[in-house]
Every structure is written in structure tokens, then in C-alpha cells.
Amino acid sequence: MGGVTVLAASYAGAASAPAYARLAGLAAELPGELLVRRDAGWPVLVYDEAAEAIAAAAELREAASLVPAGELLRIALHTAPTTAPAVRHVEQLLAIANPGQTLLTATTAVGVTGVADLGVHRLHDLGSPERILELTETTEPLRSLDQVPNNLPVMFTSFVGRQTQVAALRTQLSGSRLVTLTGPGGSGKTRLAAQTAAQLAERWPDGVWWVDLSAITEAGQIPEAVAGAIGLLVESGDRLLLGQLRTKRALICLDNCEQIIDGVAEFVLALHTGCPEISVLATSREPLDLPGEAIWRVPALAPSEARALFLERAGLEFPESDEAIRSICLRLDGIPLALELAAARVRTLTPSQIAAGLDDRFGLLTKNVRGVAARQQTLAASIGWSYDLLSPDERQVFRKLAVFAGGFTLDAAASVCDVVLEDFARLVDKSLVVAEGGRYRLLETIREYAAARLAEAGETLETRSRHLEHYLTVAEAAEPLLDVDREAWRARIEPDRENYRAALEHGLSADPDRGRRLAATLRWLWNLQATGNEGIGYLRRAIELAPDDRSLLQARLLYGYATVADTVDPFGYDAAGRGLALATELGDDRLRSLFLALVAVGEFFTDFQKAWDLTAEGVLLAGDDEPARNANIALQCVLLSLWDRHDELRPLLDLAADGLITSGERGIASTVLTVWSESLMSTGEPLKAVEVGERALAAAEPLADFHRVGTARGQLATLLVRTGRLDEARSLMQPLLELAETAGAVVPNLGQVMGLISYWSGEYDAAVEWMARDTAADGPLAETFVPAMLLPSVAAARRAGGHDASELLERAVVLARRYNMPRILADALDQLGRVAISAQPEKAADLLHQALTIRVDHGLRTYVIDSLESLALLANHTNRPADAARLATAAAAGRLALGLATPPDHPELPTSSDDPPLSLDEAVAYVRRTRGARGRPSSGWASLTPTEQQVVDLAVEGLSNPEIGERLFMSRGTVKTHLAHVYAKLGVSNRTELASLKKP
């Protein structure tokens, strides 16, 4: 390919001085130009042809094999157009080699045979990954940057000079957990920090994480930015983040801290207090002023380094202009950004012209102005000179680009700044605009300079107004996607989150009408990345800008607030109730339907029926509008599941889940799938329940919403426990458990899930303790449905631990009847029946058969197994060993067939191997027959079961089959079946005849 090929050789590890002396002697015997360097630690040779360098490497390898320590020798070769960059790159390649290896870059290996392809690797110079090949045959993995978790930025230009500073910083980081690089904008803080972090990456096994704070404007956004960079779960505040980092050994690099210095200082202090093995490398224009902070003031480049940087960025050699180049480097104080901006002009100006421009234009380079740092003056002068070299049209575009935050697209630039492609391309060429994969940005220092020029030109207000208008237009055009494809909406809006923040701030401060419209349109953005608190802040500001407004816009703002507050602050502000009243006043049925679903959520904890009635009205109002209908149906699914009306639930689940997933409504979809998985577990499909539980978690995880992810993990963990995968369940919950313990995070349902895991692990006291808070009789949840869900589990753990649980079970019965929860009621009755077996077998029989009837009537096949085991215990106690064995055997076969685990306190029961076990249905029929043979007649009032008697009472009152089903938590088909049995037992044929009978 032309150019030069460079060979470098050194020993791996700490070789002795004599060993390096021998290596220098071996290198001196080789052909090629041996470079003489002041910092030479090992030999570097230059060849005109790659083949010559490869042959020399083979010769050196053979010679080294004959001397002590030769097996530690590592060799690297790289080909490049010029010598200096080739030397820097080959030494980076050498740094990742292992003892005995000879490595080549792809540019050197062109046309070479017999080399091994080691794949693509990233060197420690932060360049793009590149293909590495090997002449030797080793099996050791390369020590590349890919071996350590990191998100260090890719640098598209080489790191020039600064080796002394990097070495000093490496030492500094060894003795201090906080090192802050300070200096003016453009002095090279960012690049020096990144290069140091890359060279030290192996020191931190849990990763090196780069966090650019340049777009952050509020302290509360710092934990979000850090968590996003590392890939951790986030919520408002820093407790959750600190909890996740508490045991980690990592380096966090905080870049561009100056615009939010106090917030960064507070965050770093909290980080160091709670996370003892986290180190921080920060860049800022001023120190953080924290105890133990090592402040590293970034010096200017040395003259030789400044010259090398200028020439490399210019891409040309200027032998006749050496004096001018030295003058440029000296008068720009060796500040990297200033040098790069100057080098960008060599396409149109000679070095002499550049030097003359500095002499004629920038008196500030040599003058001192009170109150302004000298280097700050120099940088400002450099950028100002660069700015003055732009054409008038280019200057105007450049100034206006200052309003963008966090990057922008070409379309956005065209809309806001009247960009002409040619002008914009020239700004990119001149390094004033950075291009990154279809998006663009200004370096923060450049952006600040442009903002100052924008203000001087009196164009700030107009440009910010156009910025707001552009992003409002984009957001309103994208809004329909929220109903059909939220993933597409997210892809369109999320990359410009910082611009939307900036537009909201301007709009809510200076342009209320458009600001309020934008706030209403962006409502779903705050359900992503756990930014709910920030979102309700914007939405509340927008609402309160016009508190008496009765428009559709106000209703939409209230709806946005209510949807975000659902998982952040559901009781802090009655946005749903206010919004429903306003939507009703406006006659907007779709919006009324959406508000009804949100109001129903507020009623859910204390009044299931009221919540149901609200959602039923919401479904009617929604009509064919799928998003509004699904919002109501999702809560109906939860209610039907709690009521164990599974025949009615399944069609709604199919309908809601498909619609929600298709439209990208991951949050509600995760809830619906969680309900579905619980229904499958209850009705006898536990293995399928696990599959659906995994889908629920997969739906939630991309949101990075701690509450949604926590709920889905907890549900999946309970399913894994019930199917015998206890270790997997515990592992699944471990990250959330650590968050609760170390960060104080409130994990949804953590007590319930960990209590269940403890119970199935035989840790009964721990199980009781885990669920104590949510089941306390005087606790904040005492009168909600929540304790009812947990009390049977608490009672089971207490009974397994040898304690009386009757009072807990009686309370569970009361709450289960109040909230119409059949499964919970049956669980409590079943356990009460077991308690009564020894002293009151007749009472036990009644209780156990009530539980069985509820379970059968509601299709709770999984829990029918528990009923059969309880009745087997009763049969065994009442001297009916054959019945006990038959029922216990059927129950054991049912557990095996369904894939259910056996609880640790499972009773010892007799089993039979003589006959094939009864199926669950056969066992239920058998136990009911034996129950009837023990005293219940086959006809007449006395033959009716308790459930049949309840059906008769309600039918005589005049309730219809659906109304009876709703009252008794059963389907209308089940009601019809019960009435048929009643007619046969009482000898009547219809309701009229039934009502005429006199009940004894």
C-alpha cells in the first residue's frame, strides 16, 4: 500500500535491564532504520516494504529464542503513510500482545499468507476496532480494550503527545478515588481523560464508563445519565443507582461537569460515600472542591507535541513553513482545540497566512484582561478568528446551531437555521460541527461560543422560537404513532430528548401556548428511562400556566400527567378526576374513556366493583378506538383474574395483549401478560404460565422502568418457585433484593415474592417476616385487598413453623369475601379445614368441601390438588385409609402431570400403586360421591350443596344467571349447571316452580 512499515519489539512483563540490552543488540543486527528516540524503552525499526519488516520479525523471533527471556518477546508491525503515526499505532498494537506473539495490522498483512486471523479488536488508542493478524501460533486472547466492559468513545483522530501526562495520571489514579482534570475549554481535558481511562481499563473489572454531561442542565438528571451509560436500571434520585454500584469496582468518567458543577459534586460525594470501590475521573473547567479530590490542571502541549498535532491534523508536510508553524503553536499556547481549528484552514490558507492572521487579528493572544484566564482568552480568540473566516451565510448558520442540545439531524438544522447543504458541509469539514452516524453536534465549547455570537446578533429569541416550532411540529406529527406503534414513536422522539427538554423550557417560559402543546404531545416520553418525576414537573407547569382553562389541550395535559403519575405519584394530584370532569364537559368520549381507566386505577385498591363499573363505561365509550378500549380492558383483566372468572378473562387477554404489544404499549402489555401468566398457573397450565411470564418480563425490560421490571421479575419468580425452579427464582430476584437492601428502593411485591421463596425454601420464620409489613392489621394496606392476597401464605408459613394461624385465616376469609376473591377464599377455607381435622372432623369436612367446590366451580385446577390432599388427610384421620390413599395418589399424579413442585411442608400421606391413579376430575367426582354417602341425601333440600343453596336464594330473589354469576364469582354457564342440578334434586323444571317451593 506504500508508505512505511514499522516494527516494534518488547518484553511482556517486567524484564531486566540486561534483557533489554540483549534485545537492543539483536535489533541492531537487523536490516531497517533503527529509530533513535529520547523515550526509547525498546527498539523500533522502519522499513520501506512490509515484506522486509515481516522477514525481519521472523529473524528477530528466531534470534530471541536462543537468549534468556526470549520466550517473553512480543513483536508488532504496522504500515501507514508516514512514520510518526505508524510508530504510535504499532506501540498500541504491541501493548495488547502476549509473550511469544508477533502481531500485524491488516494494512501490513495485505498479500501475506500463513497468518492467523485473530478477529477485530480495539486498541487502547480509542480508535475504531480493527482486524489483527498473527504470524506466530499462540492461544492467548489479546489484551485489547474489548476484554473489559466499557463504553469509551471512539476517537476518529489519533492521540498525539501527552505521554508524560498520561503516565502521571495513571499514578494519580492509583492513589486517589477522585481525579479532576481542569482547564479552559478546548485544552484537551476530554481526550486526555479518555486516553488515560483506556490505558488503565484492566484495573477495573466491572468496567470503565464514559458519561458525557454536556447536555445535562439539572442535577436530578445526573444519575439518569450515569445509569444510562452503564446500562443500569434507573429511577428518580440516586439511591437506586448507588445501590447497584455499591459492590462494583469500576471507573466512572464524568466529562464536561462545569455547567452543573454543584450537582456533580453532590453526586460524586454520595457515590464515594456509598460505593467504596468506585473511582471517578472528571473533566471540568473548575474543581469539584471535594475532600480527597486530586486536581490535575491540564497543561498546554509541549512545542514538539503541538507541532506534531498541527501537522497530523493538517494532513500535509510543510518543510518551507516550519517557522510559521512554530509561531502558530507558540502563540496558540499549545491548546489542542485551537491548533485543530487552525489546521482545518490549511485547505485555503498557508501556514504563513494563518500565522499572519493571528498576528493581525487577535491582540488578546498577548494581552491580559482582568478577571479572565489567559488560556480562556486564547481559546476565545482562536475560535473567534475561525468564526471570522466563515462566510456571512456560514456564520449565521453556525450561530443558530447553538440552540440545539445533545445533537440534531440535518432536517432539524434546515428547519431551524435555514441551512444550505453546502454551507453545512463546510462547517463539518472545518471541524465546527461533528458528524456522528447521521446526526450532528457542536462541541460544547464551540456551542457556547456560537451562543454568545447569537446573543450579540440579537437572534436568540427568534431562533429558540423556531427550535420550539420545529420540535413541536415533529412531535405532533409523530403523536398518532402512540396509538399504533410506540416503538416507532420512541425511535423518532427519544434521540432528541435533550432538544425536547430545551424546547419545553423555552416554551413554558416564553411561549405558553406552544409550550403547553408540546408538553401534552410528549406525555409518553416520561414513561421511558424512569424520568417520570421530570415529566410530571413539566406537565404540572403546563397545567398551572392556565389553571382555569377548559379546553381540550388542558384535558390532554391532565391525561398526560395522570398517565405518568400512575407509577410515580398516583395520589399526589387528582389529574385523572379533574380530567374526567373536563372531558365530560367537552363531550370527548375517547378522552373520557381513557380517563375512566385512570380513575378506575385509583379505585382499584379499595373497591373492585366500582373500578369494574368505571372500566365497563370506558369500554362502551371507547367504541372502536383500540387504545382507549385496551386501557380499560387491561384493568378488567386484572379484576377478572382476582375474581377468578377465567372463562371470561381469556378472550380479553388475547384481545388486549395482541393489541398492546403490536402498538408498542409495553407497560400495560407487561401487566396484561403478568395477569395471563397467573391465570394459567391457577387453571392448571403452569409450564405455559412460565412462558407467558417470560414474555411479560421481555416486554417490560426495554422500558428500563424499575417498577414495571420489578413487577414482571417478581411474577416470573413466583412461577419458577411453583414449578420447582427455586434457585432460578432466587437468582432472578437477587438484583432487586440488593437494590432494596443497599439503595432503599421500594420494589413492587418484594415482600410477597421473597416470602414465597422463603416458604418454599423451608425458611418459615423468614417468610412470615417478609410479608409482615403488607399484612399488618393496623398497617396502611389493612383495609385494601392486598393483605387478603398474602394472608393464606403467611398462615401456611406459620402453620409449617408449628404456630397457630386461625386468626390470620379468619381475617383472610373476611377480606376475600369482601373483595370477591374465590381463590384466596378457597385457600383460607382449605387451611382452616386442615386446622380443624384433629378436633372437629365434621367442621373440617364442611370447610374442605367448600374450598373444593369454589376451586372446581372457578376452574382452579392447580389448587384442586391441594383440596385432594386436604381431604386425604381428613380421610386418613377418620379411619378411611383406602380413600386417603386414592386421593393422595391422584393428587401426586396431578402434580407430576402439571409440572408442579411439592412444597417443603407436604404432609405424609398413604399412596396406592395397585390401580392407575384417578384423574383430577375423577378424584373430584369420587370425593363428592363419598361425601354424599356419608349423610347427604340424593334429593330434597338437604341434598343441595352450599353453593347450590346460594344459587337458589339468589334465583328466588329474581337475579338473572349473569347477575348470580357476578355475585358468586362464576360464569353464567356454571350458574346454569347448578340450577339444572337443583331442579333435578327438588323435582321442579323452572324458576317459577322453584320459587313456589317452601324452603325448610
pLDDT along the chain (1000 residues), means of 10: 84 79 87 71 86 91 85 90 86 90 90 86 88 85 89 84 86 90 79 90 92 87 90 84 91 90 92 92 88 87 87 76 84 78 78 74 34 42 71 91 93 91 82 82 81 92 96 95 84 94 96 96 85 88 94 94 78 83 94 93 87 93 88 91 90 76 79 93 95 93 80 95 95 88 74 94 94 88 88 93 92 91 94 93 92 93 95 90 91 94 89 81 88 58 78 88 79 78 83 78
d(CA 295, CA 37): 31
What residues form DSSP beta bridges with 295? 180
- Surface-to-core class of residue 140, CB atoms within 10 Å of its CB (0-12 exposed, 13-18 middle, 19+ buried): exposed
At residue 424, φ and ψ (nearest 5 deg) are: -65, -40
Angle (nearest 5°) at CA 606 between 794 and 722: 35
614-645 b/e (C-beta count within 10 Å ≥ 16 → b): bbeebbebbeeebbbbbbbbbbbbbbbbbbbb
Give the total residue count for the chain: 1000
Q: Are 844 and 837 in contact (CB under 8 A)?
A: yes
Tally helices (H) and strands (E) across the chain.
46, 14
Which residue shows C-alpha cell 381431604?
871
Angle (nearest 5°) at CA 956 between 952 and 959: 95
Which three three-digit cell numbers place residue 162? 501527552
d(CA 870, CA 489): 54
Extract long-range pairs of 567-573: CB within 8 Å, 24+ residues apart.
567/527, 567/532, 567/667, 567/705, 567/707, 567/708, 568/236, 568/532, 568/533, 568/535, 568/536, 569/532, 569/533, 569/536, 570/601, 570/602, 571/602, 573/536, 573/540
Parallel, antiparallel, or unpaired: how do β-strands 178-182 and 278-284 relate? Answer: parallel
91-116 b/e (C-beta count within 10 Å ≥ 16 → b): bbbbbbbbebbbbbbebbbeeeeebe
Taking phi over 0 as left and psi of -120 to 50 as alpha, with beta for the rest, 3 belongs to: left
Closest of 668, 734, 731 to residue 703, by C-alpha: 668
Tell me the DSSP string of 599-649.
Answer: HHHHHHTT-HHHHHHHHHHHHHHHTT-HHHHHHHHHHHHHHHHHTT-HHHH
Q: Please name the helix (run of DSSP H) or strand (run of DSSP E) that holds residue 165, with its range, or none.
A: helix 163-175
100: amino acid identity, one letter: G
How confident is the model at residue 367, as a pLDDT?
A: 33
Which three three-digit cell numbers place residue 566? 400512575
d(CA 950, CA 948): 5
d(CA 643, CA 818): 11
Neighbours of 437 (CB within 10 A): 6
DSSP-based three-state secondary structure for 181? strand
Contacts of 728 (CB under 8 A, 6+ apart): 720
Contacts of 750 (CB under 8 A, 6+ apart): 710, 714, 733, 736, 737, 740, 770
47: amino acid identity, one letter: Y
d(CA 862, CA 854): 13
Contacts of 134 (CB under 8 A, 6+ apart): 101, 102, 103, 104, 115, 116, 118
Which three three-digit cell numbers place residue 163? 505521554
124: amino acid identity, one letter: H
d(CA 595, CA 559): 7
329: amino acid identity, one letter: C
d(CA 497, CA 503): 10
Give how far the C-alpha of residue 855 lies from the chain's centroid of Cα atoms, to the nearest Å: 39
Integer CA distances (angstroms), 210 to 198, 229, 917, in order = 10, 7, 63
Integer CA distances (angstroms), 505 to 468, 510, 653, in order = 9, 8, 41
Taking phi over 0 as left and psi of -120 to 50 as alpha, with beta for the rest, 14 belongs to: beta
423: amino acid identity, one letter: D
**pTM, rounded to two decimals:** 0.71
d(CA 713, CA 674): 10
d(CA 441, CA 233): 27
H runs (alpha helix) in 764-821? 764-775, 786-800, 806-819
Neighbours of 536 (CB within 10 A): 24
Q: Are 112 and 104 in contact (CB under 8 A)?
A: yes
d(CA 772, CA 755): 9
How confident is the model at residue 914, as a pLDDT?
A: 66
How confident is the model at residue 20, as a pLDDT?
A: 84
DSSP-based three-state secondary structure for 737? helix
Sheet holding 116-121, edge to edge: 33-34, 44-47, 4-11, 73-80, 102-105, 130-134, 116-121
d(CA 401, CA 894): 69
At residue 431, φ and ψ (nearest 5 deg) are: 65, 15
How confident is the model at residue 719, as a pLDDT?
A: 96
Closest of 239, 153, 43, 78 to residue 740, by C-alpha: 239
Give how far the C-alpha of residue 22 lies from the chain's centroid of Cα atoms, to the nearest Å: 54
H runs (alpha helix) in 346-409? 351-361, 374-388, 392-400
Neighbours of 933 (CB within 10 A): 9
Closest of 362, 386, 385 to residue 374, by C-alpha: 362
H runs (alpha helix) in 29-111? 50-64, 83-95
For residue 887, give the DSSP letter. Answer: H
Closest of 858, 846, 861, 837 to residue 923, by C-alpha: 861
End-to-end distance of the chain based on CA atoms, in angstroms? Answer: 107
Neighbours of 299 (CB within 10 A): 15
d(CA 346, CA 352): 10
